[in-house]
Amino acid sequence: MIEAIRIQTPLRAGAAEALKAGQAVSISGILYTARDAAHKRLAQLIEAGRELPIDLRDQVLYYVGPAPARPGQVIGPAGPTTSTRLDPYTPALLERGLRGMIGKGQRSREVIDSMIRHRAVYFAAVGGAAVLIAKRIKRVEVICYPDLGTEAIHRFTVEEFPAIVVIDAWGNNLYESEPPKYAGL
């Protein structure tokens, strides 16, 4: 297995800049969740010049719509959703201090440029490893938008959440750099 380095959230700019694309990480601390519907609401607040319901500074967003918990479980399967859909909303959140995002899949040029400008990092969690990931989520609270069900903004308390730095704060992008090494074989 690949050796993972342990990191904590909130994630300061210095810590984010020290991470390199390709590094396996084990994240402990708080993650906030948001996907399509919540991002749309946050974008509407930003556009209206209003306060956001959560302070995003140095926080890490996890793009996920978890499955419901069985009785006695903290959460159901909770793997990442595809990040591309959230690209249109992301630069504005990075401007407000968002430090990290966990999802899967490619990000747009605008997002990457904004990540570099604001010293933020993008992690990939393994899509389909939803049960394994759920076991690292120790506490779940719905913070806002409960009417959105699975798409609500949750606060996850996580221990040793497995992820990979896929785009670092310098713009190095594993999705660009790795496939050519294995192409044509």
Partner 1 sequence: MREVTVEAIARKVKELFLAANTRIGADILEALEGALGREKSPLGRSVLSMILENNRLAAQEGMAVCQDTGLAVVFVKLGQEVLIRGGGYQDAINRGVEEAYREGYLRLSVVDDPLFERRNTLTNTPAVVYTDLVPGDRILIRVTARGFGSENMSALGMLKPADGPQGVIDFIVTAVKNAGPNPCPPTVVGVGIGGTADRAMVMAKEATLRRLGRPHPDERYARLEAEALKRINALGIGPAGLGGSTTALAVHIETMPTHIAGLPVAVNLCCHAARHAEGSL
Per CB under 8 A, the segment of 43-51, 65-73, 94-102, 111-119 that binds partner 1 is 65-73
Residue 128 binds partner 1, judged by CB under 8 A: yes
SS3 state of residue 72: coil
Per CB under 8 A, the segment of 25-33, 41-49, 112-120, 125-133 that binds partner 1 is 125-133
User: What is the per-residue binding string for partner 1 in 16-55, x denoting contact by CB under 8 A?
Assistant: ------x-x------------x------------------
β-pair partners for 163: 25
Distances (CA, A) of 20 to 53, 103, 104, 178: 31, 17, 17, 14
- Using the rule CB under 8 A, which residue among 82, 95, 113, 142 binds partner 1? 82
- Tell me, letter by letter, the H, E, C secondary structure of 79-141: CCCEHHHHHHHHHHHHHCCCCEEEEECCCCHHHHHHHHHHCCEEEECCCCCHHHHHCCEEEEE
Residue 149 binds partner 1, judged by CB under 8 A: yes
Upstream peptide bond of 146 is cis (omega within 30 degrees of 0): no
Binding site for partner 1 (CB under 8 A): 1-2, 22, 24, 37, 64-70, 76-79, 81-82, 84, 104-106, 124, 126-132, 134, 148-150, 162, 164, 166, 174-175, 177-185
